[in-house]
Chain A
Amino acid sequence: MEAVERNAKLVMLKNDLKKEQRNLFVRRFISNKLAVTGLIIISILTFLVTIGPLITSYGPNEMVVDERLEGPSSAHWLGTDNLGRDLFTRIVFGAQLSMGVGLSVAVITSILGIVIGLYASYYRVLDNVLMRICDGLMSLPGILLAIALLAALGPSTKNVIIALSVVYTPNVARVVRSAALVVREETYIEAMKSQGASSLRIIWGHIAPNTLSPLIVQSTFIFANAIIVEAALSFLGAGVPPPDPSLGNILFDGKLVIFTAWWMVLFPGICIILSVLGLNLFGDGLRDILDPHSN
């Protein structure tokens, strides 16, 4: 009976602790100007991109031939492009696609990176093999590796996601591995081992949670970088194939008419800058909050 009561008390204490930690995180987050600004920018953009298709009366590929290259007006808020398509609509759909690619890459690399990083940190033999492969991949500048992969696979949205995931997974694996290596040496892990806990339980139950903060920070930056590289690839003609709008595609069309239609470069440009800036601010802020060294 006593034991049960004690257990119940322990569980309550543990819950209190968790709640306390959560409150601390929220307090720190709110007092961090970088993180809050970043979150606000991202939220506004996400909101605009979500409601955009509902408030526009045009389709993203709908051409009106006699309304080509018109400046911003009440009919076309951000003007029209060289084929007479409504720029606002194209930017909304393009941003949806670009942010979707960025988010997919961030999620895929996080999953692959955590698996590779954790197992590399736990098994020495595996570590040597996996980390040499990562070194190899990381010795190629990201955009060049992506260009090479897309040259082989052919340009499509799916292939852009695949190529960028290959490019960024080593980064995540490295970050997870170095965090995991520190935890691995802790006495409580040794204690668990001596009690006969399975490696599966040690790796996923006890090491993995400790690698989450650097992982989340890293994926935020990868999200931002993926948006940049996707835009660059589509701009070069190696990424999302036209006529589907992506922010890079729109800029490619914009370059062709840069002498007459400034709006086709400026507006999608601002959209890229804001989304990347928002994510970078958010990532910087998160790092300040989660990294104990910075305090």
Chain B
Amino acid sequence: MKIYVLKRVLSLVPILFIVSIMIFMIIHVTPGDPATVMLGDTATTEQVEALRNELGLNIPIYQQYINWITGILHGDLGYSFFMRQSVTMAIISHLGPTVSLAIMAQIMAIIIGIPVGIIAANRKGSLTDQSIMGLSLLGISIPSFLLALLLILLFGVKLQWLPVAGYKALSEGMWVHLKYLILPIIALGSMQVALIARMTRNSMLEVLNMDYIKTARSKGIKERNIVYKHALRNAFLPILTIVGQSFAVLVAGAAVVETVFNIPGIGQLIINSIERRDFAVIQGIVLFVALVYVLINLVVDLLYGVIDPRVRLNHK
């Protein structure tokens, strides 16, 4: 198991290296001079030159990369000239709403998606199965921001049950916090519910066709035990993968949904930064989300090893 963990961790190094280069290059693929673009047409040559120096654009590119990556390894994601604060601080101060939204959407996706997928697999071909699959296909065909708009239209404008925009921190009370987050959570989580349900169904169907399930059935083991003890455990690996992937997708998706509901999270931060061409913030957020994604995948991989001994043994 130790070797397995070590190997997994080491395999991240090249991926993170490539990701860092790509993110570093964002500022350099901009047509024209980044400093001029940031300052706009009204800036004088001296101002542009000063900003170029401050951004470190006048030194060789490999040196720029080394400086940048050294800073990041020390937890310094750069400085935002527009917000007059460090990017790390800017991200931290916008993280709360996004994490809250993503975690709750993830919980919703798991507690609805997995059971629904199991039910569909158990009744393959029935009306229940067909309706679940039909709904989930609809679920993956509606983009989150569109679902958000449609939910606002129905519950906010027509029925007036829930607030249409805004955000209240958890410190103002659980109910108030939730009331503002219900629509965003549904908008963000629905596609993941559908994906997890589909994956669970497929994965369960594959396992339920295996010989050892037939053996278990012929021995007269209760159907419920077969499904939950024998089948689900083996069907769990692909489900776990999709759950792991969905979290990073949710963080990114939160960016879009936040702008619809006017929630001050990192999504809003990145969108505002695009308008201002605040490259340091954009790079910082993309790097941050990539890091979250890679780490979650690492955890999923390690959990594979825990759940299924075959995985860690094969990697020796």
> What residues make up the interface of A, taking CB atoms closer than 8 Å to B?
132-133, 135-137, 139-145, 147-154, 224, 228, 231-232, 235-238, 251, 254-255, 258-259, 262, 265-266, 269, 272-273, 276-277, 280-281, 284
Contact = CB atoms under 8 A, between A and B. Distances in A.
A139 B15 contact: yes
A247 to B, nearest CB: 9
Q: 8 tightest CB-CB pairs across the interface, nearest first? A: A136-B18, A141-B252, A277-B141, A276-B141, A144-B252, A228-B143, A151-B274, A152-B26
A251 B143 CA distance: 12
A280 B22 contact: no
Interface string B132-147: 0000011011111110
Contacts of B119: none
B277 interface: yes
B255 A144 contact: yes
Most buried by A among B149, B150, B157, B249: B149
B141 A265 contact: no
B146 A140 contact: no
A281 B256 CA distance: 25
Interface string B154-182: 00011000001000000000000000000
A281 B289 CA distance: 31
B259 A151 contact: no
A139 B260 contact: no
Given A148-B286, A254-B149, A262 B157 contact: yes
Contacts of A231: 143, 145-146
Given A141-B252, A265-B153, A232 B15 contact: no
Given A147-B255, A151-B277, A281-B137, A139 B149 contact: no
Contacts, number: 132
A154 B248 CA distance: 25
A63 B39 CA distance: 34
Contacts of B26: 148-149, 151-152
Interface residues of B, number: 52
B279 interface: yes
B256 A236 contact: yes
B19 A235 contact: no
B75 interface: no
Contact of B14 (A132, A145, A228): A132
Nearest to A136: B18
Nearest to A142: B252
A273 B27 contact: no
B141 A262 contact: no
5 contacts: A139-B297, A141-B251, A141-B253, A151-B274, A232-B145
B270 interface: yes
Most buried by B among A144, A231, A280: A144
A153 B31 contact: yes
Most buried by B among A141, A149, A258, A265: A141
Contact of B294 (A139, A266, A269): A139
B213 interface: no
A266 B149 CA distance: 9
A23 to B, nearest CB: 27
A258 B14 contact: no
Contact of B146 (A132, A142, A238, A269): A269
Given A152-B279, A273-B142, A277-B141, 14 more contacts: A136-B19, A144-B289, A145-B286, A147-B270, A151-B274, A151-B282, A153-B30, A231-B145, A235-B256, A251-B149, A255-B149, A262-B153, A265-B153, A277-B138
Interface in B219-276: 248-249, 251-253, 255-256, 259-260, 270-271, 273-275
A149 B260 CA distance: 22
Most buried by A among B141, B143, B255, B294: B143
B150 A265 contact: yes
B194 to A, nearest CB: 10
B271 A259 contact: no
Nearest to B146: A269
Interface in B275-299: 275, 277, 279, 282-283, 285-286, 289-290, 293-294, 297
B152 interface: yes
Nearest to A265: B149
Contacts of B286: 140, 144-145, 148
